[in-house]
Amino acid sequence: MPENSAIQRNSPSPPGQLLRHATFRQLQVFEAVYRLGSFTKAAEELFLTQPTASTQIKKLTEAAGISLFEQVGRNVKPTEAGTHLYQACRQVFSALNHLEVQFDELKGLKRGRLRLAVITTAKYLTPEMLGDFSVLYPDIELSLKVTNRDRVIERMSADEDDLYILSQAPDNEIEAEIYPFAPNPLVVMAPKHHALVGRKHIPFEEIAKEPFIIREPGSGIRDATQRVFKDAGFKPKIRMEIGSNEAIKHAVVGGLGLSILSLHSLALEGSEGPLTVLDVEGFPIWRQWYLMHRKNRELSFVAKAFLRFAIQYEIKIRERMLRTWPGLKLTEEHEPSVAIQR
């Protein structure tokens, strides 16, 4: 078939004619003919016979009601209408390409895996947060490692997880992207029957006389506790070292000593449980969590989605924190600084 059999005369067309009669395949052939300037080359590129390509353009020209190409020697040249149609095609194809990327993202999201490593205080919120996240994305595989600060930093150095929750930025050479997250106040916990319960503004020196239960080396809470004692000029009377916040709570209830722990560790029992928060001068110590990932780690779609989700979740954590201990004032003065703690 000669190439020019697809080249038609102009004729008026009813409104909507192009949309109703043109097919996506015709537009693909048209785009290739326009770009390559030849029916034969377009047919080759699309693995069609040349007559099939010609027929597609003929039908498209009928639907358009206006010539799209004119014959110039052995090749074809687009008409003005052809050029307009080509621009429209580019827009349609680029929108579809973009959609394809978005679909891939969605597919990635549905099948992906999310690896998190968090310090022990974040275990009081991360499982619930993951629960709510997995309602939105039910097929994602989740892995959560809960351990102390030093171990989380080791995992970060080894690039083992997508995202991390820490209370301080790592002070070694790991380059991290850091997002300030919810408050993580540290409080002095005592059993409900303790002699200091009910006292207001207890001076720290009175607290320092009490036996203390402290976390294991490598723990951020241990470091924070030691810092408080040092800054106040006291040495803690350490009765016991325990590598678990929950076990420390039990030891406090058992009368083995007081402890400085995150208020979030009371998330389930709140003020109804056997532990109470003492009103000690200088407390709570307003710390904060940070969401982090290694700078050079290309985050998966799942990890990006979770990061966005977690940042929006912060408000829920603050609300829950106030419910945990309604007496706690979260005034502006007590808002944790968003500056990165090193």
**Which residues would be at the binding site for ligand PGA (CB under 6 A)?**
119-121, 148-149, 167, 184, 215, 219-221, 262
Q: Which of 205, 250, 202 is nearest to 228 (CA)?
A: 205
Residue number of the CB closest to ligand PGA reads 220
Residue 59 or 149 having the CB closest to ligand PGA: 149
CB of 147 to ligand PGA, least distance (A): 7
Residue reference for tokens 């050029």: 83
Residue 112 or 183 having the CB closest to ligand PGA: 183
CB of 146 to ligand PGA, least distance (A): 8
Q: Which of 233, 274, 239 is nearest to 259 (CA)?
A: 239
* DSSP structure class, residue 199: -
Residue 6 or 119 having the CB closest to ligand PGA: 119
Residue 190 or 261 having the CB closest to ligand PGA: 261
Name the region of 323 (left: φ>0; alpha: ψ -120 to 50; beta: rest): alpha
CB of 290 to ligand PGA, least distance (A): 10
CB of 326 to ligand PGA, least distance (A): 22
What tokens does 212 get? 């203390």
Residue 67 or 184 having the CB closest to ligand PGA: 184
Task: Give the C-alpha separation, 184 to 286, whole Å.
Answer: 6
Name beta bridge partners: 286. 185
Residue 218 or 282 having the CB closest to ligand PGA: 218
CB of 128 to ligand PGA, least distance (A): 17
Task: Give the C-alpha separation, 151 to 120, whole Å.
Answer: 11
CB of 215 to ligand PGA, least distance (A): 5
Residue 167 or 276 having the CB closest to ligand PGA: 167
Residue 120 or 259 having the CB closest to ligand PGA: 120
Long-range contacts of 64-69 (CB under 8 A, 24+ apart): 64/13, 64/17, 64/18, 64/22, 65/10, 65/11, 65/12, 65/13, 65/17, 65/18, 66/10, 66/11, 66/13, 67/7, 67/8, 67/9, 67/10, 68/7, 68/30, 69/6, 69/7, 69/33, 69/34
CB of 249 to ligand PGA, least distance (A): 14
The helix, strand and coil proportions of the chain, stated in percent and rounded to the nearest 5, come to 45, 20, 30
CB of 214 to ligand PGA, least distance (A): 10
